[in-house]
Chain A
Amino acid sequence: MAEESQRTELPQEQPQQSTTIPQEQPHQSTIFLPGSVGHPSGVEVAPKTTWPEVVGMTVEEAERKIREDMPRVQFQVVPPNCFVTMDFNTRRVRLYVDSEGKVSRAPRIG
Chain B
Amino acid sequence: MKVPSVSFFLFLFLLSPLRETRADEMKNDRVYIVYMGAATSSEGSYRYDHAQILSSVLKRKENALVHSYRHGFSGFAAHLTEEEVRSIAQKPGVVSVFEDPVLQLHTTRSWDFLHYQTDLETDSKPGSDGDSQSSGQADTIIGILDTGIWPESESFSDKTMGPVPSRWRGTCMESNDVDSFKCNRKLIGARYYNDSDASSAVPHTARDMIGHGTHVASTAAGNSLPDVSYYGLASGTAKGGSPGSRIAMYRVCTFFGCRGSSILAAFDDAISDGVDVLSLSLGSSAVFELEFSTDPIAIGAYHAVAKGITVVCSAGNDGPSPRTVVNIAPWILTVGATTIDRDFESDVVLGGNKVIKGGGINFANIKKSPAYPLIYGSLAKSNSSKVDDARNCKPNSLGEDKIKGRIVLCDNDDGEYTQTEKLEEVKRLGGVGLILIDDEIRAVSSRYGAFPLTVITSKDASEILSYINSTTNPVATILATVSVEQYKPAPAVAYFSSRGPSYATKNLLKPDIAAPGVNILAAWIGNDTAEAPAGKEPPLFNLLSGTSMACPHVSGIAATVKSQNPSWSPSAVRSAIMTTATEKNNLKAPMTTHSGSVATPYDYGAGEVSPSGPLQPGLVYETETADYLQFLCNYGYDISKIKLISPTLPDGFTCPKSANADLISNMNYPSIAISKFNGNESKKVSRTVTNVGTDDETQYTVSVSAAAGVDVKVIPDTLKFTKNSKKLSYQVIFSSNGSSSVKGAVFGSITWTNGKHKVRSPFVVSSD
Query: Chain A: residues with CB nearer than 8 A to chain B?
Result: 7-14, 17-20, 22, 33-39, 41-42, 44-48, 50, 69-73, 76-79, 81-91, 96, 105, 109-110
- Rounded to whole angstroms, the CA-CA distance of A8 and B465 in the bound complex is 7
Partner of A86 from the list B288, B424, B438, B548 (CB cut-off 8 Å) is B548
| CB <8 Å contact, B391 and A83 | no
Closest A residue to B458 using CB positions = A36
Is B257 an interface residue, CB under 8 A from the partner?
Answer: yes
Answer yes or no: B768 CB below 8 A from chain A CBs: no
Query: Which of B57-65, B93-101, B258-266, B729-737 is near enough to bind chain A?
Result: B258-266
Cβ of B176 within 8 Å of any chain A Cβ, yes or no, is: no
Whole-angstrom CA separation of A35 from B393 in the bound complex: 12
Given known pairs A36-B458, A86-B314, the reply for A91 and B320 (CB within 8 Å) is no
Q: Using CB atoms, name the residue of chain A closest to B286.
A: A47
B311 CB, min distance to chain A CBs, angstroms: 14
The one of A10, A20, A34, A87 in contact with B544, judged by C-beta atoms closer than 8 angstroms, is A87
Residues of A within 8 A of B281 (CB): 85-87
Q: Is the CB of B462 within 8 A of A22?
A: no
Q: Assess A87 versus B414: contact at CB under 8 Å? Given A72-B420, A76-B257.
A: no
Complex A-B, nearest 9 residue pairs according to Cβ-Cβ distance, in ascending order: A35-B411, A82-B257, A35-B413, A36-B458, A87-B546, A86-B548, A34-B461, A88-B546, A22-B415
Is A47 touching B496 in the complex (CB atoms < 8 A)? Answer: no
Instruction: Please tell me if the beta carbons of A84 and B258 are within 8 angstroms of each other in the complex.
Output: yes
Q: Are B260 and A17 in contact, CB atoms less than 8 angstroms apart? A: no
Looking at the complex, which one of A9, A35, A70, A86 makes contact with B392 (CB distance below 8 Å)?
Answer: A35
Contact status B469-A11, CB under 8 Å: yes
Is the pair B596, A41 in contact by a Cβ cutoff of 8 Å? yes
Provided the pairs A10-B378, A79-B257 are in contact, do residues A86 and B415 lie with their beta carbons within 8 angstroms? no
Q: How far is the CA of A17 from the CA of B392 in the complex (A)?
A: 12
Give B602's nearest chain A residue, CB to CB.
Answer: A44
**Least distance between B125 CB and chain A CB atoms (Å):** 35
Judge if B285 is at the interface, Cβ distance under 8 Å.
Answer: yes
Q: Is B388's CB within 8 Å of the partner chain A?
A: yes
- Count of residues in B whose CB is under 8 Å from the partner chain: 79
- Knowing A17-B388, A85-B281, A87-B544, the reply to whether A37 touches B416 (Cβ < 8 A) is no
CA distance A17 to B462 in the complex (A): 15
- CB of B287 within 8 A of CB of A36, answer no
A47 touches B596 (CB 8 A): no
- Indicate if the CB atoms of A79 and B392 lie closer than 8 Å: no
Contact partner of A8 (CB less than 8 A), chosen from B259, B263, B320, B462, is B462
A87 touches B595 (CB 8 A): no
Interface pair B253/A85, CB less than 8 Å apart: yes
Structural contact, B317 and A86, CB atoms closer than 8 A: yes
- B212 and A14: CB pair below 8 A? no
Partner of A34, one of B212, B388, B411, B418: B411
B439-447, B612-620, B669-677: which lies at the A interface?
B439-447
17 contacts between A and B (CB under 8 A): A8-B465, A9-B469, A14-B378, A37-B412, A37-B439, A44-B321, A47-B287, A50-B416, A70-B421, A73-B420, A73-B421, A76-B257, A83-B260, A83-B263, A83-B282, A87-B546, A88-B546
Contact A36 B283 (CB under 8 A): no
Q: B387 to A17, Cβ gap below 8 A? A: yes
- The residue in chain B whose Cβ has the minimal distance to the Cβ of A12 is B379
B324 to chain A, nearest CB (A): 7
Using CB atoms, name the residue of chain B closest to A45: B321
Bound-state CA distance A37–B411 (Å) is 10
Chain B residues closer than 8 Å to A86, beta-carbon distance:
281-283, 314, 316-317, 546-548, 551
Q: Are B258 and A88 in contact (CB under 8 A)?
A: no
Q: Is A82 a contact of B258 with CB atoms below 8 Å?
A: yes
**A39-B439, A79-B256 are contacts. A90–B418 as well, Cβ < 8 Å?**
yes
Q: Is the CB of B392 within 8 A of A82?
A: no
The answer to the question of B653 belonging to the interface, with a C-beta cut-off of 8 Å to chain A, is: no
Q: Which of B422-450 contact A (CB under 8 A)?
A: 424, 437-441, 444, 446
Q: Once the chains are docked, how many angstroms separate the CA of A69 from the CA of B86?
A: 41
Query: Known contacts A7-B465, A17-B388, A22-B414: does B441 contact A90 (CB below 8 Å)?
Result: yes
Closest to B320 in A: A44
CA distance A18 to B391 in the complex (A): 11
A88 engages B392 (CB within 8 Å): no
Q: Which of B313-351 contact A (CB under 8 A)?
A: 314, 316-318, 320-322, 324
**Cβ-defined contact, B321 with A37, below 8 A:** no
Q: Are A13 and B379 in contact (CB under 8 A)?
A: yes
Q: A35-B392, A36-B413, A46-B321 are in contact. Are A84 and B257 (CB under 8 A)?
A: yes
B-side contacts of A47, CB under 8 Å: 287, 318, 321, 324
B413 / chain A contacts, CB cutoff of 8 Å: 19-20, 35-38
Q: What is the CA–CA distance of A42 and B321 in the complex, to the nearest angstrom?
A: 11
